[in-house]
Amino acid sequence: MSPNARIVLLALASLVLLPGAAAVIAGLPPFGSTIAQYGERINAVAPEARHVANMVSAINFDLRGLDTLGEEFMLLAAITGTVVLLRGRRGEGNTERAMRRPGRAVIPRSEAVVLACRIAGPLTALFGLYVVLHATVTPGGGFQGGVILASGTLLIYLGEGYAGWRDAIRSHWLDALEGGGALLFALCGLAPMLTGAAFMQNILPLGTFRDLFSGGLMLVENLGVALAVTGGFTQLFLEFMEETREAREPEEPGEESA
């Protein structure tokens, strides 16, 4: 499809979708208006029933945890599909050398950029861990914290270059984080059934309200989400960066047999 055809298609799609989007936005309640009855009920029940102060985490990891499990595997399927598509074009090999396109100057990183990234990188990772750990106490959790942690890895790339980034980021580690996190979330649903409880029933001690370790099983589910999101998004960064790498040199005749 030509660039002009893409622009025409985008314009037609916008004409179709924008009126619907405008109608939905116009139908939203005014800012600061009374919350819906469902929200009021959650606010009244969840703090006492689950000892958590973050109602969003109570909904995501307990009251509608089965839906969140489905969302988790949707993310896993989307990232897996992207990785398979990209690797299908270039193969399984990963490189550590940046492509050098003819006629394009390679601009070195300034000392200011390197210093800023070396300072901001650890701080971003620390903040991501804070968001993950306080999922049941303050706004945030595994989804948000996982994205922050994954974004922090890009600062390593911006400050240290691709070779330095690849020294710290390993593809098989990311696969284990992503798949292991999704598996941990699924086990949080299956493990209670071994005790005779319902699927994803909260069977662990709930802890103290507004305490870091409150929420029982929600803490484990939140950890699984954090691992999967961190590994999945960083894996996407890795695969897209590999698209700009220089292809491996062809093997010499007889090298494979040797």
Instruction: List pLDDT tens digits, range 11-48.
Output: 999 999 999 999 999 988 787 777 777 788 888 888 99
d(CA 250, CA 83): 23
* Phi, psi for 93 (deg, rounded to 5): -70, 145
Structure tokens at 69: 């499990």
Q: Considering only CA atoms, which of 33, 77, 35 is closest in space to residue 56?
A: 35
Encoded tokens for 72:
């988790």
Q: Show the tokens assigned to 229.
A: 């999101």
Q: What is the pLDDT of residues 49-79, one digit of tens each?
A: 899 999 999 999 998 899 999 999 999 999 9
Indicate the pLDDT class of residue 169, thresholds 50, 70 and 90.
confident
pTM, two decimals, is: 0.78
Q: Is the pLDDT of residue 104 over 70?
A: no
* Axis-axis angle for helices 171-194, 217-242 (nearest 10): 160
Closest CA relative to residue 201, chosen from 50, 62, 55: 62
- Can you tell me the distance from the alpha carbon of 143 to that of 32, in angstroms, rounded to the nearest whole number? 26
Q: Is the pLDDT of residue 255 over 60?
A: no
C-beta separation of 86 from 241 below 8 A? no
SS3 245: strand
Give the chain's end-to-end CA distance (angstroms, integer).
Answer: 45
pLDDT at residue 257 tops 90: no
Q: How far from chain centre, in Å, is Cα 96?
A: 24
One-letter amino acid at 97 equals R
14 within 8 A of 96, measured Cβ to Cβ:
no
pLDDT digits (tens, 9 = 90+) for 126-148: 999 999 999 999 999 999 999 99
